[in-house]
Amino acid sequence: MNVPRDVRGRVAALREEIERHNHQYYALDAPLVSDAEYDALFRELQELEEKFPELVVPESPTQRIGTQPQAEFGDVRHRLPMLSLGNAFDNEDVVAFDRRVREALDVEQVEYAAEPKFDGLAISLTYADGVFVRGATRGDGYTGEDVTANLRTIRAIPMRIAARKAPALLEVRGEVLMLKRDFEAMNAAQRAKAEREFVNPRNAAAGSLRQLDTRITASRRLTFYAYGVGAAEGIPGFTRHSEVLDYLAANWFRVAAERDVVTGVDGLLSYYGRIGTQRIALPYDIDGVVYKVNELVAQERLGFVARAPRFALAHKFPAEEATSEVVSIEVQVGRTGALTPVARLTPVFVGGVTVTNATLHNLDQVRAKDVRIGDTVIVRRAGDVIPEVVRVLAEKRPTDAREFHMPEQCPVCGSAVERIESEAVFRCTGGLFCAAQRKQAIRHYASRRAMDIEGVGEKLVDQLVESQIVHTPADLYHLDVPTLAALERMAEKSAANVVAAIEQSKHRTLARLIYALGMHHVGEEVAKILAQYFGSIDGLLNADWDALIADKERVQKENTRRRSRDEALLEPVLPGVGPEIMQSVANFLRQSHNREVIRALLDSGVTPESPPARPLRRGKVDGRTFVLTGALSKLSREEATARIVAEGGRVTGSVSKKTDYVVVGADPGSKYQKARELGVTVLEEQDLLNLLGQ
């Protein structure tokens, strides 16, 4: 259908007027029309678009809310990397920054643009010929996620920029955030519905933006503040950063009203103080202020170091601290089984959120800080990190304060808790069974280097565990196509592929199966040695680990003694596997829960290929006695000894008639003399290597 010219004109005029009202309402908080008048304009546009669908374009104000959830976010490569900022934590850092800038520019005094540092999510918005075409998260700085559809729902982001002569390309950079008042209102609504509240505006903004269903994003009140321009073509020739910000403000972007232009380090520090006192009253959360050399030519001259510009600096506010009491100390089990002591506190408001618990990291920290149940403590919260206990106010310790002890059993699954001597952590040994470690254990089991089950990745494991279909790796073998196909986003075909892949995994090597069990400290190499040594799962399960460990330690000690006296060494027990690893394996295999899961794996048809038994071959130097003297060049003495022993020989310290060979290196001593006297065969290093068979 042909669209009459006056309709085209009216549609364009309506869109522009609606965008202007959006800007007045959402960016400036100063509406020019009543809600009813706005709604009337909006409805008129909707009706015209319905009548003439060919006029609908994605940037129309009617198209802000999509209807179809996306399957995933695409990648967007940034035209210019989105960098981070160097941080200053005290005045000295700022003085040093200003000095570096002055010296590099060779000037007496520098003009700076100063702005609040928004505590939200970094975003890049791309406008082509003035039309919003793409929005992306920062990602790793080079590639971000395409969140265009979500960003369209944010009314403070103009779909078309106001400039009459729109630039060919304009990339606006800034932060998506949730205003404090919107955050409060949203949490009040959540409370009323008895639903989970958000921790702080930053998390709420992040969670709301990264929704595959834009209808959810649209229902949350997000906003956007611009702080700069990335790639651009055809923008006016600016000379200062402050002019860039004014340009953005004139083109319907929200920019911080608190921005300022200051001079010298005194200007910077007084700005910092000023914003610090306003912080609580600001409409949004900030975690510091940002200083940027104002002149763009100077910025260019200063350039970048690593991933941060030399012309800008983030001056952070100190982490907030508060006082609270330790009500109890509980233990959390992480997904790798690590036990973390956590202090439960009387609720305290710190850094913008109510804190009810704080991490104590590990037992060593609890002891070092001497935190006891009943103590009054200082709690700190910095940015988005987990709150922590900084120190105890010893003078406030009540007489009945109690010391904390690590539990001997895992609070989640009841398995024994182990502590590896060389590490600060305590760990649950019920890795295959413990609910806290389930996802990790199953993911590891199915991973490429373990049982290599294609299609059983992170997402599927999460789904299977969360829907309580799978509790342990053994449950994988009872999955069928209908069960899998009933899961969200799983087609019949892929379900069948997954079942087939699981079936195939029944016949991996024993080494892979041992590795797949996820025993702490047992990597692929150790798994291979264990497979070779024990030959079967039953061999591993039935081994007398206490005796093996005792043997290992005895032989190690004895060999240390013999080595110092240059005597023949004993054959090591389980070569290549140290006593700590053996202890870890022993602890794991001692847990009945783990044994049950292993049993269940075998019962489900997992039949690993056993390694070929080590051929009972004769060593190349079986029964021969060697003496080493002088400095060897290709092998260390240890290596030479190990290889001789591996080939069935012995190495002793002194030459006698029973000695078969004396191996001489550079500067041999009296042993060489003795060998000549007794007529013992003398070998050079290369002869030894030939004998051992390179």
Interface contacts to ligand IVH, rule CB under 6 A: 83-85, 115, 117-118, 122, 138, 175, 227-228, 290, 309, 312, 314
472 neighbors 441 (Cβ within 8 angstroms): yes
Q: Which of the 8 DSSP states describes residue 160? A: B
Instruction: Name the residue nearer to ligand IVH (CB basis): 114 or 511.
Output: 114
Instruction: Name the residue nearer to ligand IVH (CB basis): 312 or 451.
Output: 312
Q: Which of the 8 DSSP states describes residue 304? A: E
Rounded-to-integer distance, Cα 464 and Cα 237, Å = 57
Rounded-to-integer distance, Cα 532 and Cα 529, Å = 5
Query: Do the bridges between strand 223-233 and strand 681-684 make them parallel or antiparallel, or are there none, so unpaired?
Result: unpaired
Instruction: Name the residue nearer to ligand IVH (CB basis): 312 or 498.
Output: 312
Q: How far is the CB of 360 from ligand IVH (least distance, A)?
A: 29
Who's near 639: CB < 8 A, 6+ residues apart?
Answer: none
Q: How far is the CB of 174 from ligand IVH (least distance, A)?
A: 7
Helices (H) and strands (E) in the chain, counts: 24, 24
* SS3 state at 59: coil
**Single-letter amino acid, residue 131:** V
Instruction: Name the residue nearer to ligand IVH (CB basis): 118 or 626.
Output: 118
Scanning the structure block, which residue is given the tokens 């009140």? 221
Identify which of 81, 86, 222, 236 has the alpha carbon closest to the alpha carbon of residue 155.
222
Q: How far is the CB of 286 from ligand IVH (least distance, A)?
A: 8
Q: How far is the CB of 20 from ligand IVH (least distance, A)?
A: 25
Instruction: Name the residue nearer to ligand IVH (CB basis): 167 or 288.
Output: 288
606 neighbors 477 (Cβ within 8 angstroms): yes
Instruction: Name the residue nearer to ligand IVH (CB basis): 57 or 83.
Output: 83
Q: How far is the CB of 344 from ligand IVH (least distance, A)?
A: 33
Q: How far is the CB of 85 from ligand IVH (least distance, A)?
A: 4
CA angle at residue 636 from 635 to 638, to 5 degrees?
120
Q: How far is the CB of 173 from ligand IVH (least distance, A)?
A: 7
Rounded-to-integer distance, Cα 421 and Cα 429, Å = 15
Write b or e for each residue in 286-307: b if 16 or more Cβ atoms lie within 10 A of its Cβ, otherwise e: bbbbbbbbbbbebbeebeeeee
Instruction: Name the residue nearer to ligand IVH (CB basis): 58 or 309.
Output: 309
Instruction: Name the residue nearer to ligand IVH (CB basis): 85 or 417.
Output: 85
Q: How far is the CB of 198 from ligand IVH (least distance, A)?
A: 20
Rounded-to-integer distance, Cα 345 and Cα 389, Å = 10
Rounded to a whole number of angstroms, the distance between the first and last alpha carbons of the chain is: 86
Rounded-to-integer distance, Cα 510 and Cα 508, Å = 7
Instruction: Name the residue nearer to ligand IVH (CB basis): 183 or 626.
Output: 183
591 neighbors 541 (Cβ within 8 angstroms): no
Quick one: 531 exposed, middle or buried, by C-beta within 10 A (0-12, 13-18, 19+)?
buried
Scanning the structure block, which residue is given the tokens 């019920």? 430
Q: How far is the CB of 314 from ligand IVH (least distance, A)?
A: 5
Q: How far is the CB of 77 from ligand IVH (least distance, A)?
A: 18
Rounded-to-integer distance, Cα 279 and Cα 351, Å = 11
Query: Do the bridges between strand 388-392 and strand 312-316 make them parallel or antiparallel, or are there none, so unpaired?
Result: unpaired
Which tokens is 426 given? 């305590």
**Single-letter amino acid, residue 550:** A
The residue number whose beta carbon is nearest to ligand IVH equals 122
DSSP string, 65-97: S--SPPSSPPEEE-SS------EE-SHHHHHHH
Which of 51, 117, 620, 657 is catalytic? The answer is 117
CA angle at residue 364 from 360 to 370, to 5 degrees?
70
Rounded-to-integer distance, Cα 568 and Cα 566, Å = 7
Helices 5-22 and 35-51 sit at what angle, rounded to 10 degrees? Answer: 140
255 neighbors 245 (Cβ within 8 angstroms): yes
Rounded-to-integer distance, Cα 169 and Cα 158, Å = 15
Sign, CA torsion 518/520/523/528: negative
Instruction: Name the residue nearer to ligand IVH (CB basis): 175 or 388.
Output: 175
Q: Is 117 a catalytic residue?
A: yes
Which tokens is 555 given? 């032989």
Q: How far is the CB of 99 from ligand IVH (least distance, A)?
A: 20
Instruction: Name the residue nearer to ligand IVH (CB basis): 303 or 623.
Output: 303
Give the residue numbers marked as catalytic.
Answer: 117
